[in-house]
């Protein structure tokens, strides 16, 4: 599977026409292209080619039943991908697209089982990114793209991590630096009477309720529990896990108390808001101000990868209120962590038990 990607630097708001044409040709001929969206980087292939989409699963080590999101650049293209859309849903979509919202539809005959994981439904979104939209347009086909990370690893919101992780697994990488939003799209199933949130994401539920009316939010979409029946296949897989143990502090107060314990400075790296990091006596990766959750969202995935590069044995992360973007932020934090601690002595005990076995066995509900 060894491939050596061509890596090109260009501005995601005004991309080079030459590079776009090269990448579009790769998509048309069945290859793999890593490109920025407004949320995270995507690993794309032609959604109309089952063979090309199979390569995505190989490159990511992704289980074959975990389906792909199809990205379109226009409503005309949406109609090639889906089988009949209610007029009132189109009306609502016009208010959120292009943007970080993914909706489930009945698929058209042009979308294969490879894309949908065998399901009759296809997830679609129109990304709000000039480069992504132009790439889809020039390719002339919708682009199926999961997040551009190896399966179970943190998603990628900065191209330098895409180059590290996928440089020898894909054909082409757009090196455009950080993405704008940093957390993936919100996924909703709008087919029932009350739309259901399948994954919290960059568009907050509060904002979506203004357009879609009531939306059902479950503990599964908060990342608190695993789904007993996987409503969306992604729910049953381990996610976002850094290679170093990450533990969630049960409250901001616990986090601040831990951050004063200088004796942990060689063992622990903290991940918290800039306000909390400022007071810390141990190394702290700042996620930005806690009053600006968009800052926190854009740095969360990179912070997991920065933690891996430190010499610390363990990371401790601060919780955020689950309002607005905080819902998606806490979902990603819970899924990436392997446990919760409540006080300094629990941290001391935990360090004694390192390295911890992989998996989420230590996680307990708040």
Q: Where along the sequence are the contacts to Mg ion (CB under 5 A)? A: 147
- Our CB check for ligand TXA shows the closer of 126 and 316 to be 126
- Told to check if 123 binds ligand TXA by CB under 6 A, we report yes
CB 258 within 8 A of CB 350: no
Query: Which partner in ligand TXA, Mg ion, none is near 23 (CB below 5 to 8 A by kind)?
Result: none
- Our CB check for ligand TXA shows the closer of 34 and 316 to be 34
> Nearest distance from residue 163's CB to ligand TXA, in Å?
16
Tokens of 99: 């943007």
- Our CB check for ligand TXA shows the closer of 208 and 247 to be 208
Tell which residue, 238, 272, 271, 29, has the closest CA to residue 149. 238
- Told to check if 146 binds ligand TXA by CB under 6 A, we report yes
Name the residue whose CB lies closest to ligand TXA: 234
15 contacts: CB under 8 Å, gap ≥ 6: 130, 131, 134, 135, 174, 176
The only residue of 40, 101, 246, 336 in contact with ligand TXA, by rule CB under 6 A: 40
The only residue of 233, 283, 324, 339 in contact with ligand TXA, by rule CB under 6 A: 233
- The size of the interface with ligand TXA (CB under 6 A), counted in residues, is 26
DSSP assignment of 73-103 equals SSHHHHHHHBS---HHHHHHHHHH-SSSEEE
> Nearest distance from residue 83's CB to ligand TXA, in Å?
13
> Nearest distance from residue 9's CB to ligand TXA, in Å?
20
- Told to check if 242 binds ligand TXA by CB under 6 A, we report no
- Our CB check for ligand TXA shows the closer of 187 and 300 to be 187
Phi then psi for 99, rounded to 5 degrees?
Answer: 170, 175
> Nearest distance from residue 302's CB to ligand TXA, in Å?
16
d(CA 17, CA 12): 11
């Amino acid at each position: 599977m060894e491939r050596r990607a061509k890596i090109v630097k260009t501005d995601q708001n005004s991309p080079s026409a030459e590079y776009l044409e090269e990448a579009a040709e790769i998509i048309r001929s069945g290859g793999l292209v890593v490109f920025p969206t407004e949320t995270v980087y995507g690993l794309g292939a032609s959604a109309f080619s089952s063979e090309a989409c199979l390569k995505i699963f190989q490159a990511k080590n992704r289980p074959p039943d975990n389906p792909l999101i199809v990205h379109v650049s226009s409503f005309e293209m949406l109609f090639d991908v889906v089988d009949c859309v209610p007029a009132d849903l189109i009306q609502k979509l016009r208010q959120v697209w292009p943007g970080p919202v993914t909706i489930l539809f009945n698929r058209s005959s042009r979308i294969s089982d490879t894309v949908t994981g065998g399901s009759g439904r296809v997830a679609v979104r129109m990304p709000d990114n000039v480069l992504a939209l132009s790439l889809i347009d020039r390719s002339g086909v919708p682009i199926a793209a999961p997040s551009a990370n190896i399966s179970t690893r943190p998603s990628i919101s900065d191209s330098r991590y895409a180059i590290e992780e996928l440089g020898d697994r894909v054909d082409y990488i757009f090196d455009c630096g950080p993405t704008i939003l940093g957390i993936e799209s919100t996924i909703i199933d709008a087919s029932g009477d009350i739309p259901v949130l399948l994954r919290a994401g960059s568009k907050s539920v509060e904002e979506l309720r203004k357009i879609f009316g009531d939306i059902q939010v479950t503990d599964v979409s908060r990342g608190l529990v695993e789904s007993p029946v996987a409503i969306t296949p992604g729910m049953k897989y381990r996610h976002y896990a850094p290679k170093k143990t990450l533990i969630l502090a049960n409250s901001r107060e616990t986090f601040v108390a831990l951050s004063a314990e200088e004796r942990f400075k060689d063992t622990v790296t903290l991940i918290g808001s800039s306000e909390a990091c400022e007071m810390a006596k141990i190394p702290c990766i700042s996620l930005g101000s806690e009053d600006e959750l968009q800052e926190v969202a854009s740095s969360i995935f990179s912070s997991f990868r920065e933690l891996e590069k430190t010499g610390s044995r363990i990371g401790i992360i601060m919780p955020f209120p689950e309002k607005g973007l905080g819902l998606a932020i806490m979902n990603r934090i819970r899924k990436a962590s392997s446990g919760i601690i409540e006080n300094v002595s629990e941290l001391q005990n935990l360090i004694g038990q390192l390295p911890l076995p992989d998996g989420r066995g230590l996680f307990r509900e708040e």
